[in-house]
Structure 1
Amino acid sequence: MSDDEKLVGEFPFLPKQDRAQKKRNALLESGYALFQAKGYEQTTAKEIAAHAGVATGTFYRYFSDKRQLLMSLLEDKIESFLPPEISWVTNDPVSSLASSLESHYNRIHEFGLRRVLPELLLKDPELVGVLKNARTRIHARIYSGLEKAREKGYVWNDLDLDTVSWAIMVIVENGLDQTGHAEKKCTCLEIAKLVCRMVYPPSILEKWRGNTLETLE
């Protein structure tokens, strides 16, 4: 996240001593646990302090409000919620994409605060702007990768790279729900196959299955 997109603002107090740092860390851990369990709106600063075993006044010594605490947890992790960087010039694009998606979805599951974002986006224009900028950067990366693949003659000739880049983002962003909560779960491999069929003609995928990129170059 760039310096002009910092979401936390100025902290009331930044601890230097170990004891104070432990209290601040306890509040962060408490907020993380409660946001996961109850959601953002249903969690209060008082509850976070009580869960951390400190007074409510101690909470406000380190954080101006619960939003600042949450943004401290999210800062520099915003782009981890968005599609990963993908290589479109590889001798096994399906497997490569499936592996990237699996790692991406695992990171999101491990972090665990994905359910909080929709709550915030309804009322936090600043966060909406940061996510929009992050999505624009990811889109540019996908577009650039597809452009390189087109230069080598790997993708469909009539592919609208701008449109398909956004479509890939939507598929990948919604894939987490399909792999985790759908009645019939999709796999990362199935999502990767779908995306690759959008991007590459069958003849290219067929050649890649039995050969290396040198065969096509």
Structure 2
Amino acid sequence: MADKNAGPFPGEFPSLPKQERALQKRKALLESGRRLFIEKGYELTTAKDIAAAADVATGTFYRYFSDKRQLLMALLQDKIDFLMVPEPDWLSEDPVLLLARLLDEHYKRLEAVGIHRVLPELLPKDSELAGILQEARRNIHMQIVQGLELARQKGLTWKDIDLDTAAWSALILAENGPDKEEHSSSPLNTLEAARIICRMIFPP
């Protein structure tokens, strides 16, 4: 996609089609790829499978994408904001409730998109993709630190905590929230998670 080549996803993407019918075919291929990657796994999904699920010829697939990896990268380029945890407004009058709402919305978006389920299969094998996601996480971490620094300037945070470590801790907890049920007897309560994060950063 010519207008996105300057973004975090390297490589040559075919230009976006201009005709509505062609745009709909590309959209159908992306949706079919997303669904099949989740259902079958990335390795077991072929370009032929994706084309068949989108009700187009296999040759049509290659008009829009060079291979299934490029389709995946296009999916991630479109959805990467959904994969990253939200940056809260630490200066909010009620940061706990705001953060709980942001986390709840984030987890619902993740579940709806579902593409994050494919990443554990891919990241150990694709260093380029792993690097892209790691850079996105660094950017989110930096933004959280900057927000906490503003809060500290207003005297809102604990004076003796390291803000970089606090931001990292909040990021790790937020990212792994959906996995809580695998390690305990109950799913994550976003309000409790938000309360723990804020207690770690702000005095009562």
TM-score in terms of structure 1 length: 0.84
Are 1:3 and 2:13 counterparts?
Answer: no
Deviates more, 1:180-189 or 1:153-162: 180-189
Structure 2 gaps, min length 5: none
Task: For 1:190 and 1:110, locate their aligned partners in 2 and report how far apart those are by CA, in whole Å.
Answer: 23
Give the superposition deviation at 1:146.
Answer: 0.9
CA distance in 1 between partners of 2:5 and 2:138 (Å): 14
Q: Secondary structure at the match of 1:64?
A: coil
Could you tell me which amino acid in structure 1 is paired with residue 58 of structure 2?
T
**2-side partners of 1:154 and 1:17: how far apart?**
53
Give the C-alpha shift of residue 97 in structure 1: 0.9
Report the residue type matching 1:190 in the other structure. Answer: E
Aligned pairs for 1:161-200 within 5 A: 161-178=163-180, 183-200=185-202
C-alpha deviation, 1:8, in angstroms: 5.6
Q: Do the aligned partners of 1:179 and 1:187 also contact (CA within 8 Å) in 2?
A: no
Q: Give the 3 Å change call, closer, same or farther, for CA 92–64 of structure 1 in structure 2.
A: same
2:50 paired residue among 40, 48, 51 = 48
Q: Give yes or no for contact 1:82–1:135 (8 Å, CA) kept in 2.
A: yes
One of 74, 77, 81 as aligned partner of 1:75: 77
Structure 2-normalised TM-score? 0.88
User: Is the aligned partner of 1:89 residue 2:91?
Assistant: yes
Taking the aligned partners of 1:48 and 1:181, their CA distance within structure 2 comes to 35
Whether contact under 8 Å (2:29, 2:54) holds in the other structure is yes
Offset of 1:180 from its aligned partner?
8.9
Percent of aligned pairs with the same amino acid: 54
Letter in 1 for 2:127: P
1:126 CA displacement:
1.5
Q: Distance in 1 between matches of 2:116 and 2:126?
A: 15
Q: What do residues 181-203 of structure 1 show as CA deviations (whole Å, max 9, x unaligned)?
A: 9631121001001101111122x
Greater Rg over alpha carbons, structure = 1
Report the AA paired with residue 22 of structure 1.
Answer: Q
Aligned partner of residue 178 in structure 1, secondary structure: helix
Deviation at 1:44, TM superposition (A): 0.9
Q: Which stretch shows the higher mean deviation, 33-42 or 181-190?
A: 181-190
Shift of 1:64: 0.4
Selected match of 1:137 from 136, 139, 146: 139
Distance (Å, rounded) in 1 between the aligned partners of 2:63 and 2:70:
12
> What's the C-alpha RMSD, in Å, of the aligned pairs?
2.2
